[in-house]
Amino acid sequence: MTTSTRAVPGHWINGEIVAGSQQATITVTNPANGDIVAEVPAGSSADVDLAVTAARAAFPGWAATSPAHRAAILNRIGEGLQARTEEIATTLTAEMGSPISMSRTAQVVFPVAVAQSFTALAADFAWTEEVGTSLVVREPIGVVGAITPWNFPLQQIVSKLAPALLAGNTMVFKPSEVAPLTARILAEVTADAGLPPGVFNVVYGEGAVVGEAISAHPDIDMVSFTGSTRAGRRISAVAAQTVKRVTLELGGKGANLILDGADLADAAEKGVMMAFSNGGQVCGAWPRMLVPAARHDEIVRLVVAAAAAYTVGDPTDETTRIGPMASEEHRQKVAGYIERGIADGATLVYGGPGRPEGLEKGAYVRPTIFANVDPYSVIAQEEIFGPVLTIIPYADEDQAVEIANSTQYGLTSGVFGEGEHALAVARRLRTGQVDVNGGQWNPFAPFGGYKQSGNGREFGRMGLEEFLETKSIQR
């Protein structure tokens, strides 16, 4: 595997490439082999100021356009992303190790579908409403600051950009320093789609510098953040000083609750997929599988068999299903949790410590499954964000629900069982999304968390409403 180097000469501000205010750069490394992929500017608060000034100047004109006009541009953005699928896919694979097959599909298909879904919402959304003698008007908030992580670099920003643009806002965006390269492609696509200069701006840099400046900036009216719960707490605290709106999509520790009466083979296969996809680097993953104690060993055998299909290797190989972790630092974190699980007495049934055979170089870990896991142990409570599945036995349904709800998180979960029974259990789970028997993803349905998985919602009508202010005109 060879790695090509991509030049990123500056930030994207007011529709142009703008050199940073300082000469420092951030190195982007291919996690599969350690090669340097690119150097991007290490932005400063001065760069954020310049981007905010551009966004603030562009806001009145963009906000004055019709929703239909904004939807038409958004539709062209979706088409532009789709047209550059191969470029986006190879870039993602190089910068964060997503297997090329997944980069071409989920990593591009999902953001295109999100853009299209918001385009479809524009015509029927209640931008104004009569409430008695009052006219209720939905208006854009202003300048939105967006900060995203490295695991789904394009989808995470399109999930914010699409509703923000449709609502009439302008944006200053900080991509992850680990995987920042698709941000430039997106910026070029927005310009080609006819988005006016200054409506979408990109500032590269570290979270402690650029993210902090965005969160604190008095001329940014809202911050939309996806990432760790720890970082979300910091953003909330900083943003509170200017009382700006903050939406947070944070960590998760999803439970896959398998009930008596479930199709065990189907539940095991889909459960492994939801634990190992994207190398487990998914906030909405299901790293906990809750199983009836009497069926524990049977389900373990099914899960181990299903895991064998998840080949680890070169992410540019079409047959690879798990590539490297997104960085060496993250590999070490995941490896530490695997060692902790063994030390705490969980039963190792698949994978384990160390690198996969033949992959001594690169940020690779062995996909790992633990059985007979204590539901309150470290590996069952903390977000590992890697291909580590914990199988937890339960005595009865009430205990299963208690265990499922026992973490600080509440983002996603799954239930497998007879339809109505599974739906009844799903209602008892304290998570923002529950999939029953592997329910299909719906870009029009709201997505977000309970508890320390965040606040606010993405996608659909509720996702659009997050980016709007409400004005009541009394008559």
Q: How far apart are CA 12 and CA 188, in angstroms?
A: 9
Which pLDDT does position 311 carry in this prediction? 96
Q: Label the pairing between strands 128-131 and 134-140.
A: antiparallel
Q: How far apart are CA 259 and CA 438, in angstroms?
A: 13
Which helix (H) or strand (E) segment holds residue 393: the answer is strand 388-394
Alpha-carbon gap, residue 28 to 108, rounded angstroms: 21
Residue with tokens 């896959």: 256
For tokens 């580590």, the residue is: 388
Can you say how many angstroms the Cα of residue 424 is from the centroid of all Cα atoms in its chain? 28
Question: What is the DSSP code string of 28-60?
Answer: EE-TTT--EEEEEE---HHHHHHHHHHHHHHHH
Annotated active-site positions, please?
Answer: 249, 283
Q: What is the DSSP code string of 214-283?
A: HHH-TT--EEEEES-HHHHHHHHHHHGGGT-EEEEE-----EEEEPTTS-HHHHHHHHHHHHHGGGG--T
Task: Quote the pTM value.
Answer: 0.96
Report d(CA 89, CA 108) in Å as an integer. Answer: 7
In sequence order, the 6+-apart residues with CB closer than 8 A to the CB of 293 are: 393, 394, 395
Query: 92 vs 211, 257, 262, 275, CA distance in Å?
Result: 22, 32, 37, 20
What integer pLDDT is reported at residue 1 of this predicted model? 55
Tell me how far apart the alpha carbons of residues 314 and 85 are, in angstroms, rounded to a whole number.
Answer: 20
Rounded distance between C-alpha atoms, residue 367 and residue 308, angstroms:
10
Are the C-beta atoms of 443 and 113 separated by less than 8 Å? yes
Ramachandran angles phi, psi of 370, nearest 5°: -110, 140
Q: Is 468 left (phi over 0), alpha (psi -120 to 50) or beta?
A: beta
Distance of CA 474 to the CA centre of its chain: 40
Tens digit of each residue's pLDDT (9 = 90 or more) over 55-90:
999 999 999 999 999 999 999 999 999 999 999 999
Map tokens 């699928």 to a residue. Answer: 85
CA 169 from centroid of its chain's CA atoms: 21
CA dihedral for 390, 394, 399, 400, sign (positive or negative): positive
The two tokens of residue 442 are 């719906």
Distance CA 460, CA 131 (A): 23
- Tokens 């026992």 sit on residue: 406
Strand 412-416's sheet: what is its strand order? 347-350, 368-371, 388-394, 288-292, 255-258, 412-416, 433-436
pLDDT tens string for the chain (475 positions)?
A: 555 667 789 999 999 999 999 899 999 999 999 999 999 999 999 999 999 999 999 999 999 999 999 999 999 999 999 999 999 999 999 999 999 999 999 999 999 999 999 999 998 999 999 999 999 999 999 999 999 999 999 999 999 999 999 999 999 999 999 999 999 999 999 999 999 999 999 999 999 999 999 999 999 999 999 999 999 999 999 999 999 999 999 999 999 999 999 999 999 999 999 999 999 999 999 999 999 999 999 999 999 999 999 999 999 999 999 999 999 999 999 999 999 999 999 999 999 999 999 999 999 999 999 999 999 999 999 999 999 999 999 999 999 999 999 999 999 999 999 999 999 999 999 999 999 999 999 999 999 999 999 999 999 999 999 999 999 999 9
Domains and their CATH numbers in the chain: 6-250+453-474 (3.40.605.10), 255-443 (3.40.309.10)
